Structure 1
Amino acid sequence: MSRPPAEPADPSPDRVPGHSPDDEVPARGRPGGVTIIAAIVGAEATALLGAAAWYGYNLLSGSPVLSFWGAVFTLGLLLASAAWLFAVAIFHFRGYRWTRAAALVAQLFVLTIGFPTLTGGLIPAGAAMVVPAVLALVLLFHPRVIGYASRTGGGTPAL
């Protein structure tokens, strides 16, 4: 895990625990890009949760399905994906390193659905997917966001 050490070597109040002295990310200043990315990923998770609720309602109301257990699996996949994206949003906001890769992959998945939706004539729905995903992708590679989300753990070595 990428948590800050319990007792940092430099307990300076102006630094984020776990950063070396030459890092330039102050403790009181979470980059705005981190907050925006966490909000975008959280909104995507909420949209997936809404899709799961709609899908579950249709499944329970007796809508015809080809395979009942396939539909249950799809519902479980939607719920698991929403839970995963909520975790990514929360831990990215906290500054964990692994969340950058997870947010990047999530945005690429959104783009693979958003572009065909946009070019297929559903402009508002496609733009609602593409614009936040592109914004999150750009912000994921901003130097301050990378610096904030690159903290490493200071625990004991494995060997």
Structure 2
Amino acid sequence: MSRPPENHSDASPEPRKPGPNDGSGASPGPFPAEAGTARPRAIMVLSLIVAAEATALLVAAGWYAVQLTTGAPVLSFWGAVFTLALLLSFAAWLFAVTYFLFRGFRWPRAGALVAQLFVLTIGFPTLTGGYVAAGIAMLVPASVALVLLFTKRVISFASRAAGAPPAL
């Protein structure tokens, strides 16, 4: 689909507002998140799931740091410090994904998808390794998030690019 050429000399003072049957599915206003439209519940649920995963990583990093400072035996001290830095950076990254997904940006959908695939990759061996409660606690939210990421409302709401009109 292409845009009509912009001619500012005869532009009407009121921007065109898409109708319910024009097929665009776009809400009035420059961006879905700023147009005053209601945020879909799926975005809220998806943001809560990703925020909970980020919080879990932060808690794991805190526990790991406590273990590291109390003198728990490790093979490599600097390897353990690197692991702690990775846990903290991944938690920060997931919090950023949560924030920008909630605001309606496009790029966090890919970040949330990758995070859910990682959780599934860890959740299945955890479940089959005998830790059923922990495995289910990882698999169920990740599966729900994967389904929600591909719903029509989430895709249409989270289509904002920085400084550009909605993509869909």
TM-score range (shorter-chain normalised) is 0.7 to 0.9
Amino acid at match of 2:40: P
Aligned to 2:135: 126
AA of the residue aligned to 1:115: F
Q: Distance in 2 between matches of 1:54 and 1:152?
A: 37
Query: Could you tell me whether the CA contact under 8 Å between 1:95 and 1:148 is conserved in 2?
Result: yes
Q: Does 1:67 align with 2:76?
A: yes
Residue 151 (structure 1) aligned with residue 160 (structure 2): yes
Q: CA deviation at 1:9?
A: 4.2
Q: For structure 2, which runs of at least 5 residues remain unmatched after alignment? A: 1-13, 19-26
What residue number does 2:106 align with?
A: 97
Number of aligned residues:
141
Question: Which ranges in structure 1 are unaligned for 5 or more consecutive residues?
Answer: 1-7, 20-25
Name the TM-score, length of structure 2 as normaliser: 0.78
Alignment RMSD (CA, Å): 2.0
Matching of residue 43 in structure 1 with residue 52 in structure 2? yes
Deviations 1:108-129 (A, max 9, x none): 0000000111111211100000
- Aligned amino acid, residue 47 of structure 2: A
Contact 1:11 1:17 in 2 (8 A): no
In structure 2, what is the equivalent of residue 5 of structure 1?
none
Q: Structure 1: which amino acid aligns with 2:156?
A: G
Percent of aligned pairs with the same amino acid:
62
TM-score scaled by length of structure 1: 0.82
Shift of residue 49, structure 1, vs aligned partner: 0.3
Structure 1 stretches of 4+ with a deviation exceeding 4 A read: 8-12
1:47-99: CA deviation from partner (whole Å, max 9, x where unpaired): 00000000000000011111110000000000000000000001100001000
Pick the structure with greater CA Rg: 2
Q: Are residue 52 (structure 1) and residue 52 (structure 2) matched? A: no
1:106 partnered with 2:88: no
